[in-house]
Amino acid sequence: MNIHEYQAREILERFGLPVPKAGVASTPAEARAVAEKLGGRVVVKAQVHAGGRGKAGGVKLASSPEEAEQFAAAMLGTNLVTHQTGPQGVPVRKVMVAEATDIADELYLSIIVDGDLGVPVVIASTEGGMDIEEVADKTPEKLFRVAGDPLIGLSPYHARDIAAALGVPASAQRATAALISNLYRVFVENDCSLVEINPLVITRDGGVIALDAKINIEDDALFRHKDLAALYDPEQEDELERRARGSDLAYVKLDGGRVGCMVNGAGLAMATMDITKWAGANPANFLDIGGSAEQERIEEAFRIIVSDSDVEIILVNLFAGIARSDVVAQGIVNAARETGTSLPMVVAMRGTNAEEGRKILSESGLDITAALDLAGAAEVLRDKLAPAGHGKGGSR
Ligand code: ADP
Ligand code: MG
């Protein structure tokens, strides 16, 4: 789960990291009041769950409270489009007004869980303020990585190594090492999947300060962070992902595919995507209906899949244990009728009441091909995807 910059900033402050003085505002008048309190120059920053705000006009330097008010008025109530949002952008309901920092150098610092190593890894770079993906792509030698230890954490000498690799001036070495150690605590104690400070700034007077803050909390750990869970902002999320979250369905949108995948279980999701690739196509999404499967949730799952305009064919792969095939089949048929979808479906069902499920599907009159197993489903899928000139060009 993503949170806003002003919320992330507060967490960093609580853990002792240096951050700019700031306040949050929902109206231009409030923005002006914050700017007055801070005195002098401020930056007005659109609060959205997306980066790249600077280049998109979502970060503005104001030299007076009046100007801060004007910038806030121009941002609030609009949708901000950045290279990280879709073309429709995300709504700006709040702005953060922060004191302007005199920047000498912009650096990069983040912590993620490294999937291969299975531990948190600190990533640092002298190339701050820009897209880190681009740095990783073009000049990977400019990324410095240090793995933390799950038991020991990040050793002080590691923090000092990172500060040294960042080339911070002697005056800021100690503060930067402390900042890195504290950021590691932020990461671990809040069950984060990402903390990112871009830019980490060296100030003109030789200090160090975290100018931007991005924090993602691991969804599966939210149950033990009620205060963080309360920061969830549904408005910032893609509509289909929001609906899936509301029904406790795991939905993941994937770029560039045309097969909608409905499965139960993460392992089955992986196998289903492999088989989709084998059939010469790419998944447009996958939706995991999980273990329990009431008809209503199946119906909502199906509606979500057909609402994805990239989907040209639906692959349902079910291994019914606790879930019952007949309930899932009825849910699919109901939702297909209700939405009036004409998308073809390939369905593989095994397990509890599989035969009844297949019967419901075959008698529904919908464009559904029932397969006995995943291998059978893959062959049907391959044949259906085969016709030349169909859609967005599969890789066959
Ligand atoms: P984003 O990553 O969404 O573009 P940032 O918070 O990183 O937003 O801001 C973009 C740029 O604006 C920064 O790289 C920095 O140069 C400048 N900036 C941001 N906050 C401040 C601040 N408090 N004082 C001075 N400049 C700032
Ligand atoms: Mg940034």
Q: What is residue 154's predicted lDDT score, i.e. its pLDDT? A: 97
For residues 324-339, one letter each, b for 16 or more C-beta atoms within 10 angstroms of the residue's C-beta and e for the rest, the string is: bbbbbbbbbbbbbeee
Which of 211, 236, 261 is the endpoint of a domain?
A: 236
- Shared domain check, 184 and 69: no
- Shared domain check, 150 and 5: yes
Which of 219, 236, 253 is the endpoint of a domain?
A: 236
Q: What is residue 395's predicted lDDT score, i.e. its pLDDT? A: 42
393 located within any domain:
no
Q: What is residue 390's predicted lDDT score, i.e. its pLDDT? A: 47
Number of structural domains the chain divides into: 3
396 located within any domain:
no
CATH number, domain containing residue 329? 3.40.50.261
Query: Residue 344 phi/psi, 5° resolution?
Result: -70, 150
Provide the domain limits for residue 39.
Answer: 21-100
Q: What is residue 385's predicted lDDT score, i.e. its pLDDT? A: 82
Q: Calculate how far, in angstroms, residue 59's C-alpha sits from the geometric centre of ligand 2.
A: 10
280 located within any domain:
yes
Query: Residue 334 phi/psi, 5° resolution?
Result: -60, -50
- Shared domain check, 49 and 1: no
pLDDT-flagged residues of the chain (< 70): 292-293, 387-396
Q: What is residue 361's predicted lDDT score, i.e. its pLDDT? A: 93
- Shared domain check, 85 and 35: yes
- Shared domain check, 309 and 358: yes
Q: Is 379 a catalytic residue?
A: no
Sign of the C-alpha dihedral computed for residues 116, 117, 118 and 123 taken in this order:
negative
Determine contact, residues 144/121, Cβ cutoff 8 Å: no
Q: What is residue 86's predicted lDDT score, i.e. its pLDDT? A: 81
- Shared domain check, 10 and 30: no
Which of 75, 100, 125 is the endpoint of a domain?
A: 100
pTM of the complete model: 0.84
Pocket of ligand 1 (CB under 6 A): 20, 43, 45, 51-54, 59, 98, 100-101, 103, 106, 129, 198-199, 211-212
- Shared domain check, 169 and 61: no
Pocket test for ligand 1, best of 34, 96, 212 (most atoms within 8 A of CB): 212
- Shared domain check, 149 and 82: no
